[in-house]
Amino acid sequence: MAINFNNALGIHEQALILRTRRTTVLANNIANANTPGYKARDIDFQALLTQAGDSQRRSVDMARTHQRHLSGVSSSLADELLFRVPTQPSVDGNTVDEQIENAAFARNAIEHQASFQFLNSKFTGLMKALRGE
């Protein structure tokens, strides 16, 4: 029986990648907390993870017009980014709420740690199985 990394690691690999991308988006919101006209962004984690888990495929796959083309995945987040619904929009058009962004960032950091923990124990389990101890 061959070891298949996709089967062994499960959803945690995708989850960790998505958590990392979300960290970037939230850091960007916090950096632009005082930029006039800036709109706070975020990604729908659940929807993206379901997408990734369903077919191992993203919505932003590149079109393949030739059978020998490699299947590429766009690294841009542009299609997946949504706008946050502002609770207290300010007069300069900025919709970043520093408290909300900070809370989301802290939560995302913990969830990132959780995903990492799961992924790491998968690897530890694999190594234990290989050693046969």
Partner 1 sequence: MSLMQIFDIAGTGMSAQSLRLNTTASNMANANSASSSADQTYRARHPVFAPMFNDAMADVFAGPESVSTGVRVLGVVEDARPLQPRYEPGHPLANEEGYVYYPNVDIVEEMTNMISSSRSFQLNVEVMTAARTMMQRVLTLGQQ
| Residues of this chain that bind partner 1 (CB under 8 A) | 16, 20-21, 23-24, 26-28, 30-36, 38-39, 41, 76-79, 81, 83, 98, 102, 105-106, 109, 112-113, 116, 119-120, 123-124, 127
83, 97 contact by CB (below 8 A): no
Closest approach, Cβ 63 to partner 1, in A, equals 19
Closest approach, Cβ 55 to partner 1, in A, equals 22
Largest Cα–Cα distance in the chain?
Answer: 65
d(CA 73, CA 63): 10
Helix (H, G, I), strand (E, B), or coil: what is residue 73?
Answer: strand
Task: Report the residue number, 51 or 126, with the smaller CB distance to partner 1.
Answer: 126
